[in-house]
């Protein structure tokens, strides 16, 4: 979105894109129904304008979801980690995630597999720690940084992963170039992404398997009931937030939390910091005694 502070060229380009998309809908001053291409173009322009207001914290992967590898991990362990994660890059840390030391790219690891005997050296053994040799630089940015500024910095530095650092120097999250691009063009699924992306999946018998990060509104629409307690309605955004509020703490895997609306929430996946997946079951109506 062009602002009063943008250079004239940027402002003209922004206006030109909007004018071009408007011309797609009209010929000779006559309105024609928008096509799917028109709608996609409109959405992209709207998202590009909204992107100018986003901060890094709005697009980052939170710390709890970061997949990383410890600096002393042996060669075989690094390969296994990449196979499990299906990522092209991973942060490298020393002892804890609060001490990041760089990034490892999958192609650097697989170069060692394809050409294990470098010039003047011996091939790495499965137990060798190879990350010190192949690690690359990462960017370190604050959560308050504008997403657009980070995108520009990634373009100029050609470094496509940034670690988000808090005021105490700890790791708060992670942002990739793909995260920033998706903020403009929408979600991009690649060949490694699961085909099933629904946050709420209905099962037989009034059961729902739910990604705990799913918006609470999505689950409420699926079960046909309002689930947030009235006094916490403004504070709960996700299914995980609801389950944590009902339990009064972060519940652990296997716990069953009752809901006064005739439901029960069984935690099917969790770690000490957060709930990951939940199974929601509608309870049978109690027998009416006459």
Going from the N-terminus, what domains does the chain have, and what CATH number goes with each?
A: 8-53 (no CATH), 58-185 (3.10.580.10), 200-282 (3.30.465.10)
Per-residue tokens: 157: 């530095």
**Residue 183: helix, strand or coil by DSSP?**
helix
Chain mean pLDDT for the chain: 80
Measure the CA–CA gap between 231 and 235, rounded to whole angstroms. Answer: 9
Q: Give the β-pairing of 161-165 and 139-142.
A: parallel
Read off the pLDDT of each residue in 38-47 and give the average, rounded to a whole number: 63
Higher-confidence position of 131 and 37: 131
Q: Nearest 5°: CA angle at 200, between 182 and 227?
A: 110
Is the pLDDT confidence value at 6 over 60? no
Measure the CA–CA gap between 272 and 226, rounded to whole angstroms. Answer: 28
Higher-confidence position of 34 and 59: 59
Is the pLDDT confidence value at 41 over 70? no
Condensed to tens digits (0 to 9), the pLDDT of residues 164-222 reads 999 888 999 999 998 888 877 766 555 555 544 568 999 888 899 999 988 899 999 99
**Residue 7: helix, strand or coil by DSSP?**
coil
pLDDT at residue 194, rounded to an integer = 52
State the residue for tokens 């990034």. Answer: 103
Condensed to tens digits (0 to 9), the pLDDT of residues 245-254 reads 999 988 888 9
Condensed to tens digits (0 to 9), the pLDDT of residues 18-28 reads 555 555 555 45
pLDDT at residue 34, rounded to an integer = 53
Q: Are 175 and 162 in contact (CB under 8 A)?
A: yes
**Residue 233 Cα distances to 217, 241, 245, 264, angstroms:** 11, 11, 11, 19
């Amino acid at each position: 979105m062009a602002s009063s502070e943008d250079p004239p060229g940027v402002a003209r380009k922004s206006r030109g894109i909007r004018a071009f998309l408007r011309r797609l809908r009209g010929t000779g001053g006559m309105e024609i129904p928008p096509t799917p291409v028109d709608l996609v173009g409109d959405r992209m322009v709207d998202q590009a304008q909204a992107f100018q207001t986003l901060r890094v914290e709005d697009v980052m992967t939170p710390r709890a979801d970061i997949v990383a590898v410890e600096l002393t991990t042996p060669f075989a362990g690094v390969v296994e980690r990449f196979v499990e994660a299906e990522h092209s890059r991973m942060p490298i840390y020393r002892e804890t995630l609060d001490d990041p030391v760089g990034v490892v790219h999958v192609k650097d690891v697989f170069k060692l597999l394809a050409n294990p005997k470098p010039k003047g050296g011996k091939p790495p053994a499965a137990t060798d720690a190879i990350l010190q040799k192949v690690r690359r630089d990462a960017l370190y940015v604050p959560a308050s940084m504008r997403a657009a500024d980070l995108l520009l910095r990634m373009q100029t530095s050609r470094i496509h992963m940034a670690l988000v650092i808090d005021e105490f120097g700890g790791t708060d999250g992670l942002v990739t170039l793909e995260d920033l691009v998706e903020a403009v063009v929408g979600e991009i699924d690649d060949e490694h992404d699961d085909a099933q992306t629904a946050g709420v999946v209905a099962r037989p018998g009034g059961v729902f398997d739910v990604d705990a990060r799913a918006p609470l509104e999505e689950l409420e629409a699926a079960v046909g009931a309002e689930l947030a307690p009235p006094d916490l309605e403004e504070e709960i955004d996700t299914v995980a937030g609801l389950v944590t509020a009902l339990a009064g703490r972060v519940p652990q895997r296997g716990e069953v939390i009752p809901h006064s609306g005739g439901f029960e929430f069984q935690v099917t996946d969790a770690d000490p910091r957060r709930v990951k997946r939940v199974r929601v079951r509608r309870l049978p109506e109690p027998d009416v005694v006459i």
